[in-house]
Amino acid sequence: MINVKAPNPIFLEHEHAEKAILLLHSFTGTVRDVKLLATKLNKAGFTCYVPAYKGHGLMLDELMSYDVDDWLADATAGYQFLKDKGYSNISVCGVSLGGILSLKLAETKHVNSVAIMSTPYRKSDAGLAGRLKDYGERMGSLIGLAQSDVATQLEKIKNYSTELDKFQLLVDNVMSQLDQITAPIAVKFGKQDDTSYETSAHYIFEHIQHDDKDIKGYDQSKHLMTHGNGHEEVEQDIIAFFEDY
């Protein structure tokens, strides 16, 4: 049995912070997606918490023993963690799936402000299954699995269709309730990402009913906007947004 250690959540408390930020990572990503951003926000004076989603960072079959309901529960528990630490001023920030979960929290909880990156307004089974395939191959390569063992893991994706349907239902549910969001919101997308994410960003922006909203595309950014080319500009803008709200 291969033993892969699950990533730990990240808690960066700032002694003088009045504001806390919950940062949420992507589907098939880990806390590393937003670790650098959390560090920069913490240095700017914010307390930051990054929950680790169940199964993420583990082997593919372990990831697929959970579904989007579990990851929403992880995000909600992260929000409660900050409440329990005494913070009443809590903002949320997420990339991809983390953006979906951030929107869901903004629809159902009291949040001070919201920043989302590379957030889809719809998802297909094929696209999600492709992400799982990439994840399984990446994890197999990382720990040196034989190709036959990787293939065995990938074969299990076809049994995950019900959970992929639940993922789509969550996205649909979140998009149907965007008019419930009253917190200031910043919507961001990478111009080097698939063009569907630019379409998604404009859809979300247009369906937020209040005027305290902003949308911006980043010329150098790909899907994971918190890493790679352009991440410094994204970080600076997100820090400025949370300082304003």
Active site residues: 96, 193, 223
Structure tokens of 141? 């390569």
CA distances from 49 to 3, 12, 123, 163, 224 (A): 26, 6, 27, 27, 19
Q: Where are the alpha helices (DSSP H) in 66-212?
A: 68-84, 97-108, 125-143, 147-155, 161-176, 195-207
Half-sphere exposure of 162 (CA within 13 A, CB side): 4
What type of residue is 152?
Answer: T
User: How far is residue 232's CA from residue 225's CA, in Å, rounded to a whole number?
Assistant: 9
Neighbours of 85 (CB within 10 A): 13
3-state secondary structure of 208: coil
User: How far is residue 60's CA from residue 166's CA, in Å, rounded to a whole number?
Assistant: 18
Identify whether the C-beta of residue 136 lies closer than 8 Å to the C-beta of residue 153: yes
Identify whether the C-beta of residue 235 lies closer than 8 Å to the C-beta of residue 112: no
CA distances from 19 to 16, 32, 172, 242 (A): 9, 22, 30, 9
